Amino acid sequence: MSDWMVTRSPLPRRRSRALSPLREHLRDTFWFAPTAAMVGVFVVWLVAQELDAALVRSLQEGGDFDTLAELLRFANDAKTVVSAVGSAMMTFIGVVFSISLVAVQMASGQFSPRVVRLFVRSRITKATFAVFLATFVLTLLVLTSYDSTPDPRAATSVPLVQSVLTLLMVALSLLLFVLYVNGTLRLMRIGHVIARIAAESFRAAALMPAATEEGETAGTGPVTAWVAHEGRAGVLRDVDIARLVRVARGHGVVLRLVPRIGDFLVPGTPVLAVHGGAAPPRRALRYTLSVGVERTFHQDPAFGLRQLSDIGLRALSPAVNDPTTAVQALDRVVQILAALSRRPLDAVVHRDRRGAARLVRPVPGWTELVDLGFAEVRGCAVGAPQVSRRLLAGLDDLLLLAPPERHEPLLRHRELLRQAVERGTPAPADRAFALLPDRQGIG
C-alpha cells in the first residue's frame, strides 16, 4: 500500500452536546436570527438613550449650554439622515428578499429541491436580514427620541449616541449586503453547492462516536420492553443523545433506537427497544425524538449522498443533459465514501460517563452507502462516457482505500456498469473508450 493511503488523515470527531439538536433546529429556521437581532437592538437603544440623557443632564448641571446647543443642531442634521435611512431600509430589505427568492428557485430547479436548505441555513443570509431589520427598527426608535424644543435649557434628550449608532448600523448593513451578494452568487454555482453538501456530510460523520467493537451491539441482551412513537407522523430528524443516555443510565437499561435517522414514522411505530429492564416513563422520554417534514444532515451521514445522487440524476436527465455536473457530484461521493471506508458502520454505541453502553443507534452500513452513492447514477451512465469513466475511476480508488471485506459492493457496481455499457454501446471502440477509468471523466 502506498504512503499516501497510510498517512491520510481521519475524520475529526466531535463530542455531541446537549444543546446540539436545539442548535440545529434553530439553524433550520429563518425567524430566530432576525427576531433576536430586533430584540437586541431594542436593548442597545435603551442603553444609548440613557447615555444621551445622562450627557444632557451633565451639560445642564455644568451650565455648558453652548455645547448643548451645538449638539442639538448636530442632532437635527442627523435626523434627516436617520429619516432617509429608515425609508430606504425597507426597500433594501425587499431587494435582498427578491434576490433570495430568485436564487432559491434557480437552485431548486437546476440542482435539487433538497439543496434549498443550504440557503435557509446560510449564516450570511440570516445575518443580512437580521442587521437590515435591526437597522430599520433602530431608526424608528431613534426618531422617537428627538426633542422638539430648540432651547438647550429645556431639552431632555439629544440622541447623539443613538445617531452615531444608527450610522454604524448603516455601514454594517452595506458591508453585509456586499458579502450577501457574493455568498448568494457562490451558492448558485454547482461546485460550491456540492462542496457545501460534502462539508455538511463530514460534520455529521464527525459526530459519530469512536469505533464500535465487532459484536458489541449483540451483547445488549433480549428486548424487555418497547416504546412506540406517539407524536405526529414525519421524518425522524434527530434524537437527543445526551438525554437518552441519562435516562437509560438513571433506569439501569440500554436503549436501542429502532428506526434510522431519516426514516418516516407514523404513530404507533416502535422507536425504542429497551434491554435489561422496564421502559422509562413517557415524561422522561418527552422531546428526545425530533420529527419533522424533511431530513437534515444532523446525525444523518447518508443525507449528503442522497442529495449528491439527486444532483447527478437531474444532471443526466434528457431535459438537462449535463454530465459534467454529474461528474462533480461523483467526485464528492467518492470523497465521502473514502472517508467512511474504514469507519465502523451499521450501529454506533453511546456510553455514559462510566463507559457503560446506554444507547445503540443504527446507521447505514457500507453496502447501503455504496448503493446510495452509485446505484442510481450508474443506471443513467450508459451513453454518457464521461460519467462511466469517472465512475470506474472512483470505484477503483475506493477498492484501494477500503479494506478487503468491503470490496464486494464496489466490485458488484463495477461489473454491473461494465455489463450495462457493453449492452448499450454496440461499437467496440466506443465501449473501450467508455470503460477507461478517468478521474476527470473526459479530460
Supply 224's cell numbers. Answer: 424487555
Mean pLDDT for the stretch of residues 373-380: 91
Burial class of residue 165, CB neighbours in 10 A (0-12, 13-18, 19+): buried
Q: How far apart are CA 179 and CA 200, in angstroms?
A: 21
Residue 388 or residue 4, greater confidence: 388
Residue 3 or residue 434, greater confidence: 434
Q: How far apart are CA 179 and CA 359, in angstroms?
A: 43
DSSP letter for 320, please. T
- Whether this prediction's pTM lies above 0.85 is answered by no
Lowest-pLDDT choice from 63-67, 231-235, 282-286: 63-67
Question: Is the separation of the CB atoms in 326 and 387 below 8 Å?
Answer: yes
pLDDT tens readout for residues 183-200: 888 877 888 889 888 888
Lowest-pLDDT choice from 208-217, 291-300, 391-400: 208-217
Q: How far apart are CA 272 and CA 229, in angstroms?
A: 9
Q: How far apart are CA 186 and CA 258, in angstroms?
A: 39
Give the closest residue to 285 by CA, choosing from 343, 242, 243, 335.
Answer: 243
Q: How far apart are CA 397 and CA 34, in angstroms?
A: 46
Q: Who's near 248: CB < 8 A, 6+ residues apart? A: 254, 255, 280, 352, 358, 359
The pLDDT of residue 203 is: 84
pLDDT tens readout for residues 387-408: 999 999 999 999 999 999 999 9
- CA 324, 330, 333 angle in degrees (round to 5)? 155
Residue-level length of the chain: 443
Q: How far apart are CA 369 and CA 273, in angstroms?
A: 25
Question: Is the separation of the CB atoms in 230 and 267 below 8 Å?
Answer: yes
